[in-house]
Chains A and B, each alone.
Chain A
Amino acid sequence: MEIPHEVTPRRDTGLYNAKLGIWLFLASEVMLFGGLFSAYVFLRVGIQDGVDNPWPWGLNVHKDFVWLGFINTLVLIASSVGVVFAWVALKERNWKLYQRYMYAVVGCAVVFMCLKGIEYNSKLNHHFGIKLKDNSVMEGALVNNTDRIRFEGTSASVSLQGAVPVFIKSIPKGEFPTFKVVEGPGSEEGVELHSDSELKAWFHKERRAISGKLTEERKRYRSELASGVANPTPVSVSSSAKLTSSEPFVLNANPRKVVLHSDSVVNFKDGSKVEGKLISDDVEFIVHEVDLQLVLPQKQRESMVWNVINDDGAKQQFFEQQDTEYRHLREYYEPRGEVIPEKMLRGHILNLHDVHLGGHHGDDHGDDHHDAVHKSEPKPSAEGAEEAGHEREEALHGDHGHGGEHSIKVPREDIKFMGNHGPRYGNYYAIYFTMTALHGLHVIGGALVLLFFTVFGKKLYLKNPEHLANRVEVGGLFWHFVDLIWIFLFPIMYLL
């Protein structure tokens, strides 16, 4: 059996099957990315000023990355050209040249993904932000996972229904203590659990036992009901257990999994509870920027952020810079006879990168950081931005310990929201990561297919070169589409 029009185009449609198929597939891809573009526009247009997080203007977040994006655009364009040249080489029956072009294309894909990886890594690991209760935001870097609640546990209570308790995940690797079951519904009291896999096995066993007991109890209850007992004894099966550890164990609890914590107890969202002693729940943070875009102008001077930073110099610098920016805005709007839009008045970002901070950091730094603050005069914005860009590039390359970067302690109860610049951080980041990751998956998929045609194509080439040329054309169509998507992603994600 042979399927018609696998290689030769059908006369009335002018297409062979695979080409028609890929165009149909691309049509659905248009709708897929179209849905995401619609989401982008909808989310961006739908921002309510002063309530939702403002859309970070592409360049503000991307100052460091815009060049990566630019290079990536060129790389993808080059690879697109590579595919058409490879196809032409195949049409001219030049296998060697075809292979060379195709390897170049796959190489471009690898370069693209590497640059993407650098960008992701930097966003996820080197940028962190904290939003305080009054919506003021500090951007900077986190010191050693201090967003976790550091806790010293001695005992834990778990519910034996539902899923495996989350607190096990908060125990650092290799520091799992020996737990002893002290209170439990089963006959298992006194059992010792040495590792998390043992704990999980114990948990599953107990859960089964309890569900068996529950079945029995309910049977009894229903039969009592059926036999007409007015008030049957209610079903009661204890399903909680308590574990104690021989020695205190370290717990780095993910705040997203915790409902409530106090000096002596951490309550997790799934109902498990660890008792012990709180080591510290302060977030240690190196401030690079202060962002008061969500704070009303008249409230900015009393914003919580100044209590947290506790540095008059920085505050003064912020407002001096704000004045400068206002002046720039006035210079733009006043000659045009327009009023400065309120949105513009609100947004201010202070770049503190060159400022030494250390309000909470003991006396030994005290003097010199104050000096530094006073020395750093507000600069004209363009120059300042450039300099900041340089310094941030240094930060990007992992150089966090350079001159006078000091962390401050941010009390957890002041924090409304915090996170790295991952997808969680705001809708810009969310759509950025979703779209670029989806696009990246397309790049990987396309590159694998093209690589397959290059490495294993020889057999087909010898049998029917036109068939291989068709395949490369179809693979190329997909590849160009991936390029086409990036052409739109580059301006909307990095520049606008």
Chain B
Amino acid sequence: MAESTHDWAKHKKSYLAVFIALCVFTCITLALGLVPWLDFGPPGPTPADFVVGLAIAGVKSSLVALIFMHLNHEKGLVYKMLVFTFLFFLSLMALTLFAGADPIREQYDTYETTNGKLTEEL
């Protein structure tokens, strides 16, 4: 990182731009939640809402990571580390979910035991 010769004004400008972008995205997130006609699919949270909401959050966080955390100036080492971390995080989440979604038998019995004759009535 060059010291005195650095053009800090340029940096400041980009930080401000990111700040504004983050605020705008936050407002969009809120609007998606609050305004009914911006809600995707049937009322209530649906997969589409999650995808959009998390996509916006992803964009915001990558802005923070790249600009504020100077990841765009970083050398390969940090990237490698983060990529592995992210892979392990994904494996934790995905494999746990797969394991939960792939039971050896269906869970009908829980209905019966907890809600009496629920299954019959359905």
Contact = CB atoms under 8 A, between A and B. Distances in A.
Interface of A: 13-15, 20, 23-24, 27, 30-31, 34-35, 37-38, 41-42, 45-46, 48, 50-51, 57-59, 66, 70, 73-74, 77-78, 80-81, 83-85, 88, 91-92, 296, 298, 328-329, 332-333, 344, 382, 466, 473, 476-477, 480-481, 483-484, 487-488, 490-492, 494-496
Interface string B1-45: 001001010011001101100110010011011101000001111
A296 B122 CA distance: 9
Contacts of B77: 13-15, 20
Contact of A88 (B12, B26, B49, B111): B12
A296 B22 contact: no
Classify the secondary structure of B's interface with A.
helix
Contact of B26 (A34, A77, A85, A382): A77
A182 to B, nearest CB: 46
A477 B15 contact: no
The 8 closest A-B pairs by CB, nearest first: A495-B33, A14-B75, A34-B89, A27-B85, A38-B93, A491-B53, A81-B19, A496-B45
B31 to A, nearest CB: 10
Given A30-B86, A34-B92, A74-B26, A23 B81 contact: yes
A336 to B, nearest CB: 9
A51 B115 contact: yes
Contacts of B18: 81
Nearest to B99: A42
A23 B110 contact: no
Contacts, number: 149
A295 B48 CA distance: 28
A329 B42 CA distance: 8
Interface residues of B, number: 58
A88 B15 CA distance: 10
Given A80-B64, A491-B56, A48 B74 contact: no
Given A27-B85, A58-B33, 17 more contacts: A15-B75, A30-B82, A45-B97, A46-B100, A51-B114, A51-B115, A59-B34, A80-B64, A80-B68, A298-B121, A328-B43, A332-B43, A382-B36, A480-B64, A484-B65, A488-B54, A491-B29
Contact of B23 (A57, A77, A333): A77
Classify the secondary structure of A's interface with B.
helix
13 contacts: A14-B75, A31-B88, A31-B89, A48-B110, A51-B110, A70-B26, A74-B23, A80-B64, A84-B68, A332-B42, A332-B43, A382-B36, A480-B68
A344 B118 CA distance: 18
B21 to A, nearest CB: 10
Interface of B: 3, 6, 8, 11-12, 15-16, 18-19, 22-23, 26, 29-30, 32-34, 36, 42-45, 49-50, 53-54, 56-57, 60-61, 64-65, 68-70, 74-75, 77-78, 81-82, 85-86, 88-89, 92-93, 96-97, 100-101, 107, 110-111, 114-115, 118, 121
Contacts of A30: 82, 85-86, 89
A58 B34 CA distance: 11
A45 B100 contact: yes
A392 B23 CA distance: 28
Contacts of B118: 50, 296
Contacts of A333: 42
A59 B33 contact: yes
Contacts of B114: 51
Contacts of B43: 328-329, 332
Given A77-B22, A78-B19, A494-B33, A57 B44 contact: yes
B75 A13 contact: yes
Nearest to A298: B121
